[in-house]
Amino acid sequence: MIRKTTEKLLPLNGIELNVDDAGDGPVVVMVMGTGSPGRVWKANQQPALLRAGFRVVTFDNRGIAPSSECGEGFTLDDMVSDTIALIEHLDVGPVLLVGTSLGGRVVAESTLRRPDLVRAQVLMGTYARLGPVQQAISAGERALVDQRITLPPEYHTAITAHLNLSPHTLDDEVAVRDWLDIIEFSGQDKSPGARAQMGVHSADADRRDALRQTTRPTMVVTFADDRTIPPGLSREVAEAIPGARHETVAKAGHWGYLERPDDVNALLLDFLAAHR
């Protein structure tokens, strides 16, 4: 029987984190990407991991309410410290760490800083550096928020879908209408905390050399049709980490864990089971 989920605000690292803790067994801590709450994992990955006998801990990163928004700004190091503080508070290390996009960077840096708290890690759709196009897009997105520019809803919805979904999804006119409805419903408004997260995502430091010091088993998952973090940038992470397993999910964009959940879950379960 799966232990009942508990969700609560925990005082950690000088802020409050909204934490969801469910299941029994080896602990998997999951870190979401820019602007997204931890509950996104509940759509597909958390249920699959619970069924497989894992305990799954998800949380809203600082910047995403009801966790502390910290709208005055924060750094990647702050987010790494939050993740480490959570593992220490729960007294569950070493854990299995999973992150996507910015969450993948948080996971990778957490493993570098405190390898004693990490059994193995999975980095999905992530990067060690941003290329010129990614830097330009990030700068433009921050400028839209800072200048309080609201795009026509139809255009914002379409360009968000274009950047985050696979062409295979976009070509499915039935499925893509559902995605467009979801994106439009989400709106364009950004809280001060979400804006602060966008600044973290834009950090352009090249961490490839640092990643070569990684000592924990790693799987890097690349999404074949990712326009937000192109496969080449994701492959660089796998190439930098000694002995990293590299897998590519076909017909998947930046939201591949939502587009191709069965494929992503199969990879997660295979890798995590080998290191539980």
- Among all residues, which ones are annotated catalytic? 101, 226, 254
46/85 Cα distance (integer angstroms): 21
Task: Check: CB of residue 84 under 8 Å from CB of residue 107.
Answer: no
- Burial level of 111, CB count in 10 A (0-12/13-18/19+)? buried
Burial class (CB in 10 A: 0-12, 13-18, 19+), 113: middle
Specify whether the CB–CB gap between 259 and 251 falls below 8 A: yes
The H or E element that residue 59 is part of is strand 55-60
Query: What's the Cα-to-Cα distance from 9 to each of 34, 59, 195, 201, rounded to whole Å?
Result: 20, 9, 22, 24
Q: Specify the pairing of strand 55-60 against strand 15-22.
A: antiparallel
